[in-house]
Structure 1
Amino acid sequence: MKLAIFSHCAIDTITINGNNYEQIGGAACYCGITARQFKFDVDLFTKFGSDFPKQYLTEQKINLINSNSEKNTTKFTISITDSDRTLTLENECDPIEYSSIGADGHLVSPIFNEISSVALQKIKDDSNFLFIDPQGFLRRKDSQNNIFLANTDLDLSDVNAIKVNPEESQCIVNGTHDEMMLSLQKKGVEYVLLTNKTDVSLLVKDKIYSITLPIGEIHDTTGIGDIFCSAFTCTMLKEKDFLWALCFAGGAAQAALESKNVGLQKIPKKGTIQTNASYFYNLVKFRDI
């Protein structure tokens, strides 16, 4: 099966407890490599400059589409304290160029301003199953290039699944957690995922399914949401079962956090994800809404 991913690669300088780590990343890398763990072929629509070590992706047999740019790669500095993090944009690469491609599913996860509304509409027109992580549509920068989230009118028609945290969802809709999930559903989304630190909820029709990640000490949270999104999408495409998709997504996030690794090294193996997913499957709670 094939997954088409739309996102910028990035070069991140991550600060954890006063220690600096320079890592390649971006949702493009985290989602793409996670999908390869699920044995998916990956077509990656992205942009990066000559400063980006693309061999790391080509060695993973990820197919790069129109990726080269004369500009340097998008770059962030990320400061992490427990589960909270602050981002500063150091460089912004060219927008992603869209071209039509056949795939079983499409995953759109911008990190900052790289996917236009025109490109998103073209992706919708071509997609059989579309998952959106809207973080990059909501991000803005202030005069010091610090990243913040802003209210955004986002067209979610023809979107199959979305993943948001409470802060992101408040930029699209209003209300309590339940009310925001229902509002996102009314905008046209079939599967609404809300991640609130260790609590993960999934709204499908008139029921909310939930799991809680038994996370211990938190180290590097960079890319956890991307790993989660890719695992959910791949499982939905393969199994056509939203409960298994929820459990595999949670299992992938849990395994990545438990690894205590930094950057892309935290992406877990399929076997570890599957073990965690089986654990969560027996613990899923649900309620009517």
Structure 2
Amino acid sequence: MKLAVFSHCAIDSITLEGSNYPQIGGAACYCGLTAREFKFDVDLFTKFGKDFPHQYLADNKIQYGNAESQNPTTRFAISIVGSDRTLKLENECEPIQYDGTDADGCLISPIYHEISNDVFSKIKNDSNFTLVDPQGFLRQTDSQKNVFLAKTDIDLNKVNAVKVNPEEAKCIVDGTSDEIMLALQKKGVEYVLFTDKLNVSLLVKDKVYSLKLPNREVYDTTGIGDIFCATFCCTMLKEKDFLWALCFAGGSAQAALDTKKVGLQKIPGRRQIEINASYFYNLVKYRQI
């Protein structure tokens, strides 16, 4: 099976516990490599400059087509304290181009304005299953290039699944957690994923399914959401079972946190994800909304 991923590659400078770690990343890399763990082919729609080590993608058998740009790669300076992150945009590469895909599903996860409304519409029209992580649609920068989230109107028509945290959700719709999930559902989304640190919820029809990741020490959280989204997407495409997809997604996030590693090194192997998913399957709670 094949997953198309739409996101910029990035070069991140991660500051954690007083140490700095230069890392390649971006949702493109985290999602692409996670999908490869599930034996999916990956059709990556991205842009990066000559400063990006693109051989890394080729070595992992990720197809990236016409991705090379004359502009430098998108760069972020990321500071992490506990589960909180602050970002500063250091460079922005050119927008992503799209000319069609034969993938089984699409994962749209921009990191900063690389997907235009026109491209967004074309992807949704072509896709059989689309998951959207809207973070990059919501991000803005101040005069010092500090990244913040701003209220944004996003057309979620023809989107099958969306993943948001509380801060992102409140930039799209208003209300309590339940009201937010229902409001996103009313925009046409079938599967609404709501992640609040270690608490994960999924709204399907009139039921909310939820699980809590074990309360362990949090280390580098960069890319955890991307790993979660790619796992949910691949499991849905392969198994057609939203409950297993939720458990696998939660299991992958937990496995990534358990590595206590930085950057792309935290992407977990499928075996550990499966072990965690089986454990979580028996712990899922549900309620009617």
TM-score for the superposition, normalised by structure 1: 1.00
Q: Verify the 8 A CA contact 1:215 1:258 in the aligned structure 2.
A: no
Map of 1:147 onto structure 2: 147
Q: State the SS of the aligned residue for 2:238.
A: helix
Aligned counterparts of 1:129 and 1:12: Cα–Cα separation in 2: 30
Map of 1:263 onto structure 2: 263
Aligned counterparts of 1:44 and 1:99: Cα–Cα separation in 2: 12
Deviation of the 1:73 alpha carbon = 0.3
Map of 2:180 onto structure 1: 180
Aligned counterparts of 1:186 and 1:87: Cα–Cα separation in 2: 31
Q: Verify the 8 A CA contact 1:105 1:127 in the aligned structure 2.
A: yes
Matched, 1:33 2:29: no
Deviations 1:211-261 (A, max 9, x none): 000041111000000000000000000000000000000000000000000
Map of 2:232 onto structure 1: 232
Aligned-pair Cα RMSD in Å: 0.4
Aligned counterparts of 2:5 and 2:173: Cα–Cα separation in 1: 25
Map of 1:106 onto structure 2: 106
Map of 1:135 onto structure 2: 135
Amino acid at match of 1:228: F
Map of 1:214 onto structure 2: 214
Q: State the SS of the aligned residue for 1:65.
A: coil
Q: Verify the 8 A CA contact 1:215 1:257 in the aligned structure 2.
A: no
Percent identical among aligned pairs is 70
Amino acid at match of 1:103: A
Aligned counterparts of 2:270 and 2:97: Cα–Cα separation in 1: 31
Aligned counterparts of 1:124 and 1:218: Cα–Cα separation in 2: 35
Aligned counterparts of 2:223 and 2:77: Cα–Cα separation in 1: 14
Deviation of the 1:55 alpha carbon = 1.1
Q: Verify the 8 A CA contact 1:215 1:254 in the aligned structure 2.
A: no
Aligned counterparts of 2:8 and 2:66: Cα–Cα separation in 1: 12
For residues 38-117 of structure 1, what are the structure 2 equivalents within 5 Å? 38-117=38-117
In the alignment, structure 1 segments of 5+ residues that lack a partner are none
Map of 1:287 onto structure 2: 287
Q: State the SS of the aligned residue for 1:32.
A: helix
Q: State the SS of the aligned residue for 1:235.
A: helix
Amino acid at match of 1:23: Q
Q: State the SS of the aligned residue for 1:202.
A: strand
Q: Verify the 8 A CA contact 1:224 1:256 in the aligned structure 2.
A: yes
Aligned counterparts of 1:272 and 1:57: Cα–Cα separation in 2: 23
Aligned counterparts of 1:226 and 1:250: Cα–Cα separation in 2: 12
Deviation of the 1:279 alpha carbon = 0.3
Aligned counterparts of 1:10 and 1:114: Cα–Cα separation in 2: 12
In the alignment, structure 2 segments of 5+ residues that lack a partner are none
Moved more, 214-223 or 261-270: 214-223
Deviation of the 1:57 alpha carbon = 1.0
Count residues with an aligned counterpart. 289
Deviation of the 1:65 alpha carbon = 2.2
Aligned counterparts of 2:118 and 2:81: Cα–Cα separation in 1: 37
Deviation of the 1:102 alpha carbon = 0.8
Deviations 1:11-36 (A, max 9, x none): 00000011000000000000000000
For residues 3-42 of structure 1, what are the structure 2 equivalents within 5 Å? 3-42=3-42
Q: State the SS of the aligned residue for 1:265.
A: helix
Amino acid at match of 1:225: G
TM-score for the superposition, normalised by structure 2: 1.00
Aligned counterparts of 1:218 and 1:129: Cα–Cα separation in 2: 32
Deviation of the 1:59 alpha carbon = 0.5
Aligned counterparts of 1:65 and 1:83: Cα–Cα separation in 2: 35
Deviation of the 1:98 alpha carbon = 0.7
Amino acid at match of 1:6: F
Aligned pair in 2 of structure 1 residues 215, 259: CA closer, same or farther (>3 Å)?
farther
Aligned counterparts of 1:190 and 1:88: Cα–Cα separation in 2: 33
